[in-house]
Amino acid sequence: MGALQLDIMKVKQILSLLIKGDSNRQIAEAIGVSRNTVNDYVKKLKSVDLSYQTLFDKDELDLQKLFPSKESLDSVRYANLLNMFPHFTAEMKKPGCTRQHLWNKYREEHIEHYGYSRFCELFSAWQESKKVSGKLNHISGDKLYIDYTGKKLHIVNKSTGEVIDVEVFVAVLPASQYTYVEASYNQKRESFVDSVSNCLEFLGGVPKAIVPDNLKSAVTKASKYEPIINKTFRDMANHYSCVINPARAYSPQDKALVESAVKLVYQRIFYPMSNMTFFSLSDLNKQIKILLTGYNNYKLQTLGISRFKQFVDIEKEYLGALPNIAYSVKNYNRAKVQKMGYIYLSEQKNYYSVPYRYIGKFTEIQHNANTVEVFYNKERIASHIKSYAKGHYITNNQHLSSTHNFYQSWNKEFFLKLASKIGSNTVVYIEKLIDSQPYPEIGYKRSNGIISLKRKFSRERLEAACEKALNSDLQYYSYKLIENILKNKTDQEAETQEVTHNIDGHENLRNSNIYK
């Protein structure tokens, strides 16, 4: 019977009320069960071909034989359903699958079947006995749990014998329990992102969400409801078209599965390697990969199939596609656009142009191994191929105004040519100034300043100032030095010369011999 199984005393109550002539609705209200349940029992009572009074007069044991108790299940019918439960468990992990779908399939295949309520009751009891239900219903392709083991592995420096501890990254797909393990030198941002990228390559696809355990490499500020994800990890998630959903603080059920995986990793990977010595991280990871293959192929006792088989059967097809290229770590800097229309990136001490209208604005620089992008108010305003030559100006001519385009002709020969129109001393001074700077562009700026002094002072005075600076004992060259000479008018001071006196001799005059 698909309806609720009633205690035999309630069956007697039904018979008593039927004898009185009550309707099925009235009986249902009187004994506190549904009308459908009463309808089912009335049908069964009529099929016995005995009067209600005769049935009522039977003792409980005889009556019980007509109505099996809740615990008296049909062994064949139950066995048929029991054999379907492992398959149903796998099906439940597929997106959109419900128990209603499974019951409909079961009902179509078996004429003698349980009703939906009893089906759910038996399925839940079986799952509980196999400990496969848990608090969370994991959907295939939905989440990837990631964490680091508390214990560490180590490698040995072959030259010095130094033992170097290394971190161990663990990731698990909860629906299939398919697991990935990798060793890295540390938990820093670059290592962490590389491990996640390598994991996704191993899986051959991307889940809808990555769930870290509030790792510092991933989460800037932990929160039970709205944690703050660091920019690099968010950018990586955008690259792989997934989201970051950190495990909730103080919610151990969110972390239980990956923590269970970590314990198994200790048993199946750490322990077998405990007597092995590795001299490089790559050798260590090769051995981890060998043991991991065995771990994922190990048959689970509860389900009778391996993690790998579950992954192939129920999860792989629901992972999103990998992008064409792996994610490259981005770095973030803040910089003000200089008067020349460039931002300065300290990594290689280079300058990158931005549209001149942003001069004086503060921008965010996002750069990886290949590109440099500049953002203002979250809008990208410039993009350049990264230069690894130090001290260069990388320019997009469209960024420059007509005035700034003048600067594109700047080089040593350009300034020497301008200096030649002033004088030879200016040429020599400008050349020495440019050659003395660690980066030519600094010399170009100072040379431009010196040559522009001809507008405030004359060409002749500027030439004289450069000559005076060259003849001095000072061994440095700068715009400020030339400017001070001109402001203080020291370029106009007469040089010390030998003076000839035409005074006639006199007895009161003394010569230098007197003071010897």
The model's confidence at residue 411, banded by pLDDT at 50, 70 and 90, is: confident
Nearest to 143 by CA among 328, 259, 322, 315: 315
CATH at residue 277:
3.30.420.10
- Residue 87 forms part of a structural domain: yes
- Residue 376 forms part of a structural domain: yes
Number of domains in the chain: 5
- Residue 40 forms part of a structural domain: yes
One domain for residues 258 and 337: no
DSSP secondary structure, 93-104, as one string: TSTT--HHHHHH
Q: What is the mean pLDDT of the segment spanning 457-485?
A: 89
One domain for residues 280 and 149: yes
One domain for residues 381 and 433: no
> What amino acid occupies position 196?
V
- Residue 504 forms part of a structural domain: no
353 forms beta bridges with 342
Per cent of the chain over pLDDT 90 is 25
One domain for residues 79 and 93: yes
144 forms beta bridges with 210
Flag whether pLDDT at 226 surpasses 80.
no
One domain for residues 215 and 235: yes
The model's confidence at residue 4, banded by pLDDT at 50, 70 and 90, is: low
- Quote the tokens at residue 187: 């938990």
- Residue 190 forms part of a structural domain: yes
- Residue 14 forms part of a structural domain: yes
Q: Name residues whose C-beta falls within 8 Å of residue 368's C-beta, 6 or more positions apart in sequence.
A: 328, 329, 330, 331, 386
CB hemisphere CA count around 365 (13 angstroms)? 23
One domain for residues 456 and 442: yes
One domain for residues 213 and 282: yes
- Select the highest-mean-pLDDT range: 84-98, 245-259, 406-420, 469-483: 469-483
Flag whether pLDDT at 379 surpasses 80.
yes
Range of the domain at 44: 8-66
Flag whether pLDDT at 503 surpasses 60.
no
pLDDT of residue 296: 92
What is the rounded distance in angstroms from the CA atom of residue 88 to the CA atom of residue 103?
10
- Quote the tokens at residue 456: 């405030």
pTM given for the model: 0.49
Flag whether pLDDT at 472 surpasses 60.
yes
Flag whether pLDDT at 349 surpasses 50.
yes
One domain for residues 476 and 487: yes
> Where does residue 202 fall: left (phi above 0), alpha (psi -120 to 50 degrees), or beta otherwise?
alpha
Flag whether pLDDT at 34 surpasses 50.
yes
pLDDT of residue 225: 39
* Range of weakest confidence among 231-235, 342-346, 416-420: 231-235
pLDDT of residue 55: 83
Which carries the bigger pLDDT value, residue 226 or residue 435?
A: 435
Q: Which of 352, 381, 407 is the last residue of a domain?
A: 407
Q: Which of 382, 407, 432 is the last residue of a domain?
A: 407
Q: What is the mean pLDDT of the segment spanning 182-187?
A: 89
Q: Using only C-alpha atoms, what is the Rg of the chain?
A: 43
- Residue 203 forms part of a structural domain: yes
pLDDT of residue 214: 59
- How distant is the alpha carbon of residue 366 from its chain centre? 15
Helices (H), 21-175: 24-31, 35-47, 52-57, 60-66, 75-92, 99-109, 116-130
pLDDT of residue 70: 44
Flag whether pLDDT at 327 surpasses 90.
no
Instruction: Name the DSSP letter for residue 404.
Output: G
One domain for residues 148 and 243: yes
One domain for residues 147 and 239: yes
CB hemisphere CA count around 294 (13 angstroms)? 10
- Residue 136 forms part of a structural domain: no
Q: Which of 385, 407, 429 is the last residue of a domain?
A: 407
The model's confidence at residue 220, banded by pLDDT at 50, 70 and 90, is: very low
What is the rounded distance in angstroms from the CA atom of residue 173 to the CA atom of residue 141?
8
One domain for residues 126 and 176: no
One domain for residues 105 and 228: no
pLDDT of residue 391: 76
Which carries the bigger pLDDT value, residue 417 or residue 475?
A: 417
